[in-house]
Amino acid sequence: MQRGFKGDMDIDQFCVRLEKAHHEAIHGGGNWKLGRTWPGEWNRMITEALLKAETKAGRMLTRNEVLDIVADRMKDYRIPMSFTTGRRR
């Protein structure tokens, strides 16, 4: 299995609509200058949670294990679980 957001884990299959302020808040804690330096920043927090779970499991996580972890964090950050298809960057 290849690591990354490909195939049935394509990141563009897991987009959600957020108000601009909410989006900015989860990425910079309300301050865009903090970007990925803030410990609670979404990308940083998800990456750390997944790496910790993989280390504990001693292997790469399955699709469902990844989705379970992300779903829990989405609840914590009050991100809706209604996915929409995103557009290619």
Three-state SS string across 64-86, please? HHHHHHHHHHHHHCCCCCCCECC
Q: Where are the domains of the chain?
A: 7-76
What is the model's pTM?
0.75
What is the pLDDT at residue 36? 66
Helix, strand, or coil (residue 15):
strand
Please list the pLDDT of the chain residue by residue as tens digits (89 residues).
455 667 777 777 788 898 888 888 888 766 666 666 777 888 889 999 999 999 999 999 998 999 999 999 999 989 998 888 876 54
Q: What region, left, alpha or beta, does residue 59 occupy, with left being phi > 0 and alpha being psi -120 to 50 degrees?
A: beta
